[in-house]
Each structure stands twice: as structure tokens, then as C-alpha cells.
Chain A
Amino acid sequence: QKEVEQNSGPLSVPEGAIASLNCTYSDRGSQSFFWYRQYSGKSPELIMFIYSNGDKEDGRFTAQLNKASQYVSLLIRDSQPSDSATYLCAVNRNSGYALNFGKGTSLLVTP
């Protein structure tokens, strides 16, 4: 079983809608959870991180963590075509150590 799983997509949403990206992980000892955005041919860019159960909001982005269900999600409100990218979920057990990545979910926001 892969440690971090994401639906590869593509997830297609119309401009202005809410995009919901999901990620599950297998290691119950995981402590830190990250969302990176990666445009085609570019490197991953950190957009959100969350350490505690619940929601964390930053502008149009909301990260949600449920450790009991081993589930982390990213909501993007008022989606824009510029949000079209691959979103990588990353998890680590010990702060500052190796990140375990999912394969990423491709998001397409259509005008």
C-alpha cells in the first residue's frame, strides 16, 4: 500500500467554483502535512501546511486535517484558470525529515 494516496485526476472545475483535493495516508505516526502546487515543467511550490486536526485558512486556500481518518484535503475557493496545476500532498513523521509525497492530483480550471 502506497503511503500517501491521491486521485490522479484530472479534476475539472469551472472558474469561480470550489475545487476539493483529497489525500489519504497510511502512517498513523505522521505529524506534519503539506500541500505543494507544481506547474508543468516547474518545481513544487509550498502553498499550505497543517499540523493539527481541523481547518486552516489562508486566502482562497483551506487545508483540512482529520488524523483519526488519516485524511487531509485542500479546498480552493473562487478557482481561477491560473490555479490549473498538479497539487502534491506530502506527509512526514518527524518534523524536518523526509517528506513522503503522493503522485499528485491534476487540477484544470476552465474559463
Chain B
Amino acid sequence: DAGVTQSPTHLIKTRGQQVTLRCSPKSGHDTVSWYQQALGQGPQFIFQYYEEEERQRGNFPDRFSGHQFPNYSSELNVNALLLGDSALYLCASSLVAGGNQPQHFGDGTRLSIL
């Protein structure tokens, strides 16, 4: 049973560049959420995708955008990168149907901005 997979594992970018991170949900899951975790902090919710639409969004600027594909996989795009965007980006998947289903996290993508 494949868990949540994210790519790439690590990424180094410079200020002003753009980045795309990818996520494949756990088998059987249909919902993908993205979180940003700065060093020493808890994860902060960016947005959630269900049925290929953004279902909920956290307090992040429009530079952060996403997409969900028909196979439930998802991308997170960040434009005009800032030094403060350096963080661990986590993807979590869950199943909408079936009531209170917890979210399961992938291993994350560590993004460093120079």
C-alpha cells in the first residue's frame, strides 16, 4: 500500500525564481492538502484540493497556487520566491468520504532559497 509520495526531496532556488512541487496521495485517498513548516514551527496550512478544485485556503499570498489532477495527484507552485519561503513543504492526503478520516503526510520537500 503506497503512502504519500512527494518530489523532489530537496530543492535549492534563488530569490525571484519559481518552483513546482509534486505529490501523489496515498492509495484510495482523494484529497490533498499542502502545508509549510518553518524550522521550529508547526506546519501551516496552505490549501486543500478536492475534486480538482481548491476547497479551502490558508493565509498565504497568491504567489502560492496549486492544482489537482484527475488521478488525485497535486502540484504546489510558488512564484517570485522569497528568502522566507525556505521551509519544509508537506503534502497530506485523506479521504473525504467516510467521515472523520485523518490526514497522512508524505516525507516532504525541503526548499532552500538563496
A→B interface (CB under 8 Å)? 4, 31-32, 34, 36, 42-46, 49, 51, 88, 90, 95-104
A-B contacts, 28 listed (Cβ < 8 Å): A4-B42, A32-B100, A43-B106, A43-B108, A44-B90, A44-B105, A45-B105, A46-B102, A46-B103, A46-B104, A46-B105, A49-B102, A51-B100, A88-B43, A90-B42, A95-B101, A96-B31, A96-B94, A96-B100, A97-B56, A98-B45, A98-B56, A99-B33, A99-B43, A99-B45, A100-B45, A101-B42, A101-B44
Contact residues in A for B48 (Cβ distance below 8 Å): 97-98
Contact residues in B for A43 (Cβ distance below 8 Å): 88, 90, 105-108
Is B41 an interface residue, CB under 8 A from the partner?
yes
- Cα(A98)–Cα(B103), bound, Å: 9
- List 10 additional A-B contacts (Cβ < 8 Å) besides A96-B101, A103-B42: A4-B42, A34-B102, A36-B105, A46-B105, A96-B96, A98-B45, A99-B92, A101-B43, A101-B44, A103-B41
A98 in complex: contacting residue of B58, B100, B105, CB < 8 Å: B58
Q: Is the CB of A88 within 8 A of B96?
A: no
Is B99 an interface residue, CB under 8 A from the partner?
yes
Please give the distance in Å from A100's CB to the nearest CB on chain B.
7
Contact residues in A for B61 (Cβ distance below 8 Å): none
- Cα(A95)–Cα(B55), bound, Å: 13
Q: Give the contacts of B56-110 with A (CB-CB under 8 A).
A: 56, 58, 88, 90, 92, 94-96, 99-108
Contact residues in B for A34 (Cβ distance below 8 Å): 102-103
Contact residues in A for B96 (Cβ distance below 8 Å): 96
Contact residues in B for A104 (Cβ distance below 8 Å): 42
Contact residues in B for A96 (Cβ distance below 8 Å): 31, 94-96, 100-101
Contact residues in B for A31 (Cβ distance below 8 Å): 100
